Amino acid sequence: MQFEIRAKDVSISRALRNHIERRLRFALDRFASRIRQVRVKLADPNGPCGGIDKCCKLAISLDRSSTIVVESHASNVYAAIDCIADKAATYIGRRLKRPHGRKTLRTISELLLQESTNVVMPADLQPGGAP
């Protein structure tokens, strides 16, 4: 997994960079073989005016050329990272578990045939059974 971390109006310290990588590796490690790149963008929408909201966007490129984008807002950058890591892990888990492609439609006769083969009848009701 490759990480690309960028920031706008937020300073990225060594401790923050380590926290981001550690938290995202912990959350996404089970999907590491299917993830090509993780791009993190931190921002302060209010800029130098102040305010309590920090924004974190996460773009995850999967091996099948699809990209997942998740966004989180919180009072500080560390809380935004923690929230987005949980969101991303949940979303990717659901996305990769979902079958790809279209489901094949079954005809009514196929369903009836499957149902009739699964029916177990008592011995006295079966053809040729005890009287």
Say what the pLDDT of residue 99 is.
Answer: 58
For 41-96, the pLDDT digits (tens) are 999 887 767 677 889 999 999 887 688 899 998 888 899 999 999 999 998 888 87
With tokens 């690309």, the residue in question is 4
The domains located in the chain, with CATH, are: 2-97 (3.30.160.100)
Of 109, 101, 88, 82, nearest to 28 by C-alpha is: 88
For 8-21, the pLDDT digits (tens) are 888 889 999 999 99
Asked if residue 103 has pLDDT above 60, the reply is: no
Say what the pLDDT of residue 95 is.
Answer: 81
For 72-81, the pLDDT digits (tens) are 988 888 999 9
DSSP H or E run through 97: helix 77-97
Distance CA 88, CA 59 (A): 9
- DSSP class of residue 69 equals E
